Amino acid sequence: MSFKRQLQHKYQNFKFSVQTISLPNWLTHRGIRVSMLLLIFFFSGAYILNMTSSATSGYEMRVLEKQAQTLEMEVRKLEVEIADNSSMTSIASRLGQLNMVEASAINHLAVKNNSVAKN
C-alpha cells in the first residue's frame, strides 16, 4: 500500500470514528450549549480585564520607579550642597554677604553663688 493510500485510509477511519461518537442528551441540550457559551464569554472577559489591569499596574509601577530615582538623585545633590555649605571655608566666605562679623573675643560670665530658687 502506498503512503498516500495509507493516509487516505487513516483519514477515513478518523472521520468514521468522529461520526459515530454519540454525546449524552444533557450535553447536546440547547440550554447547556448556551450556558457554556456564556461561561466562555464571561471568563474571556475576565481574562482580558485582568491582563489590562496588570499592564496598567506595570506601567504605573515603572512611572513611580522613575520618580523615585529622580528624587534619590535630588536628595544626593542636596546632601552634597549641604556638605559644601556647612564647611568652615564656605561659612567664612558668606559672613560678609550676610552682614555678620566673626567674634574676636568671647567673654564668659562666672556665677559665684550656685544656689537655685525653690518654690
The string of pLDDT tens digits covering residues 9-46 is 999 999 999 888 888 888 888 898 899 999 999 999 99
Mean pLDDT of the residues in the chain: 87
CA distances from residue 44 to 31, 54, 74, 111 in whole angstroms, order as listed: 20, 15, 45, 87
Domain boundaries, the chain: 25-94
Would the pTM count as exceeding 0.85?
Answer: no
CA dist., res. 83 & res. 104, Å (int): 26
